[in-house]
Structure 1
Amino acid sequence: MMNWNEKIKQFEDYLRLEKSFSNNTLEAYLSDINKLKDFSLENLEGVTPVNITYEQIQEYLFSNSKKKFSERSQARWVSSLKSFFKYLVEEEIRADNPTTLLEGPKLGFYLPDTLSETNIERIVNAVDLTSNLGQRNYCILEVLYGCGLRVSELVDLKISNINFKENYLRVDGKGEKTRFVPFTDFTAKVISDYILNSRKDIEINKKFEDFVFLNRRGSSMSRVMVFIIIKELAEKAGINKSISPHTFRHSFATHLLQNGADLRYIQEMLGHSSITTTEIYTHLKTEELRRVIIECHPRNVLH
């Protein structure tokens, strides 16, 4: 038992200090490795990270694959385990790497879910603007869609990082990368109205005075809270697909691309380190074009 915990702790320190992993990525990796630890303790007597074999790891992955996890989750488990055992080999804790031959499931091209402009309006219109929390939620939606922020960036957004004179946000994104995201006059008005009016009615906890979005207790909001707000508003608006804060980010990028924005600018605004990540949206554009051709091309009319 100690052996697993000790090695996982050392790996955590390595990821945090040497790889500068964000907390979310770190938690995902550690969760995956702890699942292997739990499986070993329950099913593989005397097995530790130092002596576990390729076959035993395969057995663990096979037992998981029967539990209807998505292919993306399975691919991430393999990636986490490969990193863990590569670290053990590099630190000379193990002589061999039992995950060398492991392959994750082949992922089909993953297209993020997006909302049409009409559905975004429906969700925004579902907000009750008569309360302070409603005003806050309205502003949250506007910042997610108007600036394309990740939910972690939204909850960490500081008032001191908003430049109303030039209309841009300074965002501290993944991997401690800072970017500047411009916003429209409309978004500027929504944010300043919220800060100057409903936000000031909250009794603000001293530590969180600079945070834009606050909960009822005057502290910073959790990511989970933002998920719940959006889920409830989508249900209220009668939209029956699974929607998360990320759906607004995807919609921000897709609508910019559909309206002619250059992919490089979108990459910059989303804070993607690689253009390849942003290129996912060109596939969305292709889907859109295909739909337009099918619906509008005169050759598609049956004679």
Structure 2
Amino acid sequence: MKIPIDLFENYLKNKGLKERTIENYIYYFNKFIHNRFNQESISKFLASPSNRNSIGRSFLVNLKKFLTMNRIELKIDQDYYNEIVEVELPSLTGRVKQTLVKPIPHGRIPLLEEALETEKLKLQLLITYYGALRLGEMLKIRILSFDWDEWKKDTSKWGECRVFGKGDKEGIALIPPDLMKRIARYIRSHDFLEVHGYLFIKESEKQDIKNRARIWQKNLRNAGIKSGITKLDNKREPVQGTRVYPHRLRHSYAFHLLKDKKIDIRYIQEVLRHTSIRSTQIYTLITKEELKRKMEEIDKES
């Protein structure tokens, strides 16, 4: 959904904001090049230091309010509305809270898998996580996206999956050997009409990928609740910051590589298929805080 700039500008004028303030918000609106307001697009927007000032952060707050208050006029469905509401934004005062996505511990991923009912859903989860895939990249995977011929020469090695991101930009996702074997078994057990077809989308559904995306996000959200990773408040609503969604899986795997496996950030940049190291550096923020705590502990002991 393309966010209409004219409606957003009218919203700002109706709030009685000063002309200069409106000009500033429209400036940042034009820098916010994403068609969907979610945690991933916010993270990318804030990856640029020039967007992290108080005006840029205030713009995000106003854009979020605009979308939620005008959901009917903008024809925002319930799933997208929930996604908008649950977006965490940095504080408008003090230092910018740059770490927007709380990683899911690696050891809790099996809980999510267990909470999903079918092998198809389980594979969507695992490919998204281990491939560090964006939502669109995962849904567009085809049977021939994998390097089957090369991988079969030595099935103990990691496989490769060709993915297409925004603007159909091509990239390679690395898939663990055990997951490659499960994918191969899944393909053999299903009657796919053609090898060029999508892995997770039926031929009759390929014209409505957005709907398939919503269904997958809903399944993932429910699995988060069932597994206990998503916490509920006393009104049975998800606690902010605990909801499970595709970008959080991608973020979690990157953090797992950095923190648990001690992988150099340059390699993680390749895993995430980032063109700029700046986009990858957001995953180092938590470890800096941990380093500070560790140094404080050492200081107390001395």
- Per the shorter chain, which TM-score range? 0.5 to 0.7
Name the structure 1 match of 2:174: 182
Name the structure 2 match of 1:135: 119
Q: Structure 1 counterpart of 2:279, which letter? A: T
Q: Structure 2 counterpart of 1:35, which letter? A: L
Name the structure 1 match of 2:200: 213
CA RMSD in angstroms, aligned pairs only: 3.6
Distance 2:269 2:254 in 1: 9
Distance 1:177 1:142 in 2: 22
Distance 1:273 1:56 in 2: 36
Name the structure 2 match of 1:273: 275
1:110 aligns with 2:122: no
Distance 1:103 1:227 in 2: 31
Asked if structure 1 preserves the Cα contact closer than 8 Å seen for 2:143 and 2:199, the reply is yes
The two structures have a TM-score, normalised by structure 1, of 0.61
Q: CA deviation at 1:253?
A: 0.5
Deviations 1:163-207 (A, max 9, x none): 13331011112243211122110121222222222x43x8x6x8x
Q: CA deviation at 1:243?
A: 1.5
Distance 1:123 1:103 in 2: 38
Name the structure 1 match of 2:50: none
CA 1:43/1:218 → structure 2, altered by over 3 Å: closer, same or farther?
Answer: closer
Q: CA deviation at 1:273?
A: 1.4
Q: Structure 1 counterpart of 2:275, which letter? A: S
Aligned residue runs from structure 1 range 1-303, under 5 A? 27=1, 30-36=2-8, 39=11, 55-56=18-19, 58=21, 78-81=27-30, 103-105=55-57, 108-111=96-99, 112-128=101-117, 134-164=118-148, 165-166=150-151, 167-197=159-189, 199-200=190-191, 210-214=197-201, 219=206, 220=209, 222-239=212-229, 240=231, 241-258=242-259, 259-290=261-292
Deviations 1:238-286 (A, max 9, x none): 2212111111100110111121212111111212111011011111222
Q: Answer with 1 or 2: which has the greater Rg.
A: 1
Deviations 1:45-69 (A, max 9, x none): xxxxxxxxx94474699xxxxxxxx
Q: Structure 2 counterpart of 1:248, which letter? A: L
CA 1:195/1:110 → structure 2, altered by over 3 Å: closer, same or farther?
Answer: farther
Distance 1:293 1:193 in 2: 49
What stretches of structure 1 of length at least 5 have no aligned partner? 1-26, 45-53, 62-74, 85-101, 129-133
Asked if structure 1 preserves the Cα contact closer than 8 Å seen for 2:9 and 2:22, the reply is no
Among the aligned pairs, what percent are the same residue?
A: 24
Deviations 1:121-173 (A, max 9, x none): 21112223xxxxx1100000110111000001111112221113331011112
Deviations 1:15-54 (A, max 9, x none): xxxxxxxxxxxx4xx41504236548x959xxxxxxxxx9
What stretches of structure 2 of length at least 5 have no aligned partner? 34-53, 59-89, 91-95, 152-158, 232-241
Distance 1:228 1:291 in 2: 37
The two structures have a TM-score, normalised by structure 2, of 0.62
Asked if structure 1 preserves the Cα contact closer than 8 Å seen for 2:98 and 2:285, the reply is no
Structure of greater relative contact order (alpha carbons < 8 Å, 6+ residues apart) = 2
Distance 1:188 1:83 in 2: 37
Instruction: Give the aligned length.
Output: 221
CA 1:183/1:189 → structure 2, altered by over 3 Å: closer, same or farther?
Answer: same
Distance 1:289 1:273 in 2: 27
CA 1:190/1:78 → structure 2, altered by over 3 Å: closer, same or farther?
Answer: farther
Deviations 1:69-94 (A, max 9, x none): xxxxxx7x64224689xxxxxxxxxx
Q: Structure 1 counterpart of 2:272, which letter? A: L
CA 1:243/1:57 → structure 2, altered by over 3 Å: closer, same or farther?
Answer: farther
